Amino acid sequence: MGNEKQIDTLRHSASHIMAAAVLELFPGTKVAIGPAIEDGFYYDFDRSEPFTIEDLSKIEEKMKDIIKENHPFICSSKSKYEAVEEFKEKGEKYKAEIAQGISEDKVTVYQSGDFTDLCRGPHISSTGELKYFKLLSVAGAYWRGDSSREQLQRIYGTAFFTKEELDAYLAKIEEAQKRDHRKLGKDLDLFSVNDAVGGGLILWHPKGAILRNTIENYWKQFQLDNGYELIISPHIASEELFRISGHLQTYSENMYASMDIEGKPYRVKPMNCPMHLMIYKTKLHSYRELPIRYAELGTVYRFEKSGVLHGLLRVRGFTQDDGHIIVAPERLEDEMLAVFKMAVNMLQTFGFNDYKIYLATRPENKYVGEIADWDKAQKSIENALKKTGYEYEVDEGGGAFYGPKIDIKIKDAIGRLWQCSTIQFDFNLPERFDISYIDSSGKKARPYMIHRALMGSLERFIGVLLEHYAGALPLWLSPIQVAIANINEEQYDYCKELLAKFKKAGIRAVFDDRNEKIGHKIRENAMQKIPYIAVVGNKEKEANAVAIRARGNKDLGAMSVDDFLKMCADKNAPGINEL
């Protein structure tokens, strides 16, 4: 096992060994960059033919040969001019471009066997030190991340110091693939994306809409219970609104083109906050009214390149669980604490109990407001975090340009971290929109503003939920909670009566009346991850009962209909996440 620096050195060295193997197997391939990354490494290649899964196996075998040869990693220094010319002679235009952009007169290169790479290092002492590695996948990547430049092929891999660590990581990847929300969304018939509609725009199918509606209903009541007022804002607005907010000047590359409406430019909204502030400004407010808390499930639209779109996790149209709080400066600490507790409460309701919490502070250069005000706001937020009892880390310089923030990352069932709740202080918009309140002395004063999203977005949060539960959602979230399955036609009328009774009791139930064997019905409904299957034969019909199979192939046996409904009622509530 090694520390973070040692594992990065191992993985960066693995990327060099992989590049050497690729050049041996596929002459004429050009190399670009090959860094260590979280959980692994990659290298970008320029090759006319696409790499295949079979190619990855060949590259792995060639890497093993290079490892057996135990070439030392030899570092040397040369002039930048010399390095540029050498790479140009070899046809390595990407390396030549990197070398040309280095500000120092001298550069370092590392050689292992016949492969020489422009690199600052460090590296392991020799190729033989790499023992436990695996190549994972191939993806496209633009040179320098610029879509107007060459498209390269990126090969991802991972490496560890022990076989046990590698095996555990590969098992985790395999489990993650089983939990992929895109596959679950298709298998469970929850949502889809269609090119005719457009990439990154989600079509919610009936069962997906039920899931989403269940979350929305819970969310709305949760806001009301915590002192928020629900508001609704339009999907488009005059371009002037986003000029006032500053989004047009600083965020235009993520906004969609303007549309002309009666000679005036409009935009689909990338943010809800400007409209929330316009609602605040419709009347004068007293300090007695503050804090004012607005909440909206507001759908926004942001441009994302097609290459980064990813199911529900990265989309172009999404619904934020948005909230904005207008608060007097002296109440900032109390309000930040209240919002934090609210976020944790909500996350726990959905079954997330493990977090990493960050206090993101003022960026070094790009920020608005005075340093003294930043320090005051950061101190208030830090005091609030200390009162929560949770451990947190300081993300130095990680705040937005307009204010410090709290980020909460949740850990899912297989240990992955997901960015979820964020609570952001804002110096900027209160000034740009010139909002005010009348303080206790009768004078106009500038309030503070807090942005908060507890889930982030409904789309992304549902994607995380599906992967956390591997599609086996708790009863209260399951689109279908009970499937009734009859053995033959003799129980048809009784099952129809059961269906009506279940629905009247608030249970989302379906009747599988297909002319199929009962074993087939049970298997297919189980594959849909439905919490309960109520099997009905003549015995159950005569006893006014049901034979219940719980998810996970658990046979709960026969019980009266009333007892089953009571059991469902006891478990069918937000926060009860076990069957």
Three-state SS at 171: helix
Instruction: Using the CB atoms, write b or e for 48-76: b if 16+ within 10 Å.
Output: eeebeeebbebbeebbeebbeeebebeee
371-375-377-381 Cα dihedral, nearest 10 degrees: 150
- Reading the block at residue 266, the tokens are 């409009």
Catalytic residue among 12, 405, 508, 521: 405
The catalytically annotated residue of 62, 153, 273, 521 is 273
Separation of alpha carbons 294 and 323, rounded Å:
5
Residue from 117, 322, 412, 426 carrying the catalytic annotation: 322
Tell me whether residue 568 is one of the annotated catalytic residues.
no
Burial code (b: 16+ CB inside 10 Å, e: under 16) for 555-574 equals eeebbebeebbebbeebbeb
Q: Identify whether 291 is preceded by a cis peptide bond (ω within 30 of 0).
A: yes
Point out the catalytic residue in the list 302, 508, 541, 549: 302
User: What pairing do the DSSP bridges indicate for beta strands 355-360 and 393-395?
Assistant: parallel
Catalytic residue among 71, 324, 521, 551: 324
Please report how the helices 4-25 and 53-69 are oriented relative to each other, as an axis angle in degrees rounded to 10. Answer: 110
Determine how many CB atoms are found less than 10 A away from the CB of residue 388: 15
Q: Which two tokens stand for residue 46?
A: 């320029």
Could you say which DSSP state residue 485 is in? E
CB distance 409 to 360 below 8 Å: no
Structure tokens at 181: 């929300």
Quick one: how far is CA 98 from the chain centroid? 32
Q: Is 324 a catalytic residue?
A: yes
Query: Helix or strand or coil: residue 352?
Result: coil
List strand residue ranges (DSSP E) for 113-257, in order: 115-118, 132-142, 151-160, 191-192, 203-204, 229-230, 236-238
Q: Per the residue annotation, which of 223, 320, 481, 491 is the catalytic one? A: 320
Task: Given the residues 134, 451, 521, 549, select the one marked as catalytic.
Answer: 451
3-class secondary structure per residue, 200-225: CCCEECHHHHHHHHHHHHHHHHHHHH
Q: Is 420 a catalytic residue?
A: no
Is 273 a residue of the active site?
A: yes
Q: Is 322 a catalytic residue?
A: yes
- Residue whose pair of structure tokens reads 């500038």 in the numeric block: 446
User: Does the annotation mark 195 as catalytic?
Assistant: no
Q: Which of 419, 342, 335, 322 is nearest to 377 (CA)?
A: 335
Phi, psi dihedral angles at 329 (to 5 degrees): -50, -40
Residues linked to residue 385 through DSSP beta bridges, in sequence order: none
Whether residue 405 lies in the annotated active site: yes
Cis amide linkage into residue 122, ω under 30° from 0:
yes
The span from the CA of 133 to the CA of 404, in Å, is 40
Cβ distance 312 to 297 under 8 Å? no
User: Known catalytic residues?
Assistant: 273, 302, 320, 322, 324, 405, 451
